[in-house]
Amino acid sequence: MDKPLRVAVIGAGGWGYQHARAFSSRSDTVLVSVTGRTEEKTRRRAEEFGVPYRLSIAEMLEKDRPDFVSVCMPGQGTFAPTMEVIRAGIPLLVEKPLAYRLEEAETMVSEAKKRNLFFAIDFNHRYSIPALMAREDVEKGRLGDMVFALWRFGHGSGPLNHPYLNLIEAQCHGLDLLELLCGPIASVQAEMTDMTGKGSYSTFSLALRFAGGGVGSFLGTFDSSENYKYSHYVELNGTKGRSQMEDSVCGYRFQSADSRRAEVWNPAFFRDDERSFNRNLDRHLDALIPALKAGKEPPVPAEKGLRALRLAHAAIESFESGKRVRTLYPET
């Protein structure tokens, strides 16, 4: 395992590009191919990185013999390609969401467990510098007991092809990150609107209760604009202090409850990597690749994707029933 890992990327879209870029630029990995569904698009993407292109996963597995596979497919169509890699017994990373249907996510996780397979998911919000700093402050006990948390993430979109696309596809980041920082979500109550006519519940709000006793307010929208400052905002308020994350990568602030001075982090002027959302993936790989080579568990296992999907389905149940839904399951 001292040699660079041979990595194949499945997916020639926007995030497939970011995965190809990240794996091709590391000293501990080498990109061996790009696999896609359409020949022209996949060929162009592979040519960008000077690697072969494949139009079938079976061909890629046979010809390229990767040590690791990165699956970057649309969430509604990720099941079949992911299962093909799992059945081949190849360690893998998948982009979020793990799936849209619970039974598909459960099958993927179960089949990977049967094979004792390294199976990771890219919840890259965890690896923004503000999120890493917030996690450090939480683990050091600087915030005390969590009383409340706020999550707001919004931007624009055109027509959507699933009624709960925003909740499952985009806002799974928030469900995962809030549980990481605040502990398990014990219950959820949801309100949603489709008033902008995009064919989906493009804006929603959740009232959360955490198992530790605190509460949360969660707003996700596709009816806003990424041009706005604080398109993304997270606040954690504990008994000892408060932390704030601004636009994922743009700023972090911690202030003790008994101090009138705050500690503030902003990206350095010449550090474009610090202010780039795409570089969250690179920081995730900085943790993932050493774990894979050492035979350890993934830093963000696929089970976290299953958990986020279960929370999303609980929110759907709450909205459709008009009731609060408990979300503590035996594996939580």
Structure tokens at 287: 């943790």
Structure tokens at 187: 């219950």
Q: What is the pLDDT of residues 67-108, one digit of tens each?
A: 999 999 988 999 999 999 999 999 999 999 999 999 999 999
List, by residue range, all CATH 3.40.50.720 domains of the chain.
Answer: 5-117
Question: Looking at residues 261-289, what average pLDDT do you find?
Answer: 96
Q: What is the CATH number of domain 125-271+309-326?
A: 3.30.360.10
Name the one residue in this structure whose structure tokens are 């998911």.
Answer: 121
Name the one residue in this structure whose structure tokens are 């006990």.
Answer: 141
d(CA 112, CA 226): 37
Q: What is the pLDDT of residues 287-303, one digit of tens each?
A: 999 999 999 999 999 99
* Nearest in space to 93 (alpha carbons), one of 170, 16, 173: 16
- The domain 5-117 is placed in CATH, from the list 3.40.190.10, 3.30.365.10, 3.40.50.720, 3.20.19.10, at 3.40.50.720
pLDDT band at 331 (very low <50, low <70, confident <90, very high): low
The H or E element that residue 154 is part of is strand 146-154
pLDDT > 70 in the chain, percent: 99
List, by residue range, all CATH 3.30.360.10 domains of the chain.
Answer: 125-271+309-326
* Nearest in space to 232 (alpha carbons), one of 169, 153, 157, 287: 153
CA geometry: angle at 41 spanning 37 and 46, to 5°?
95
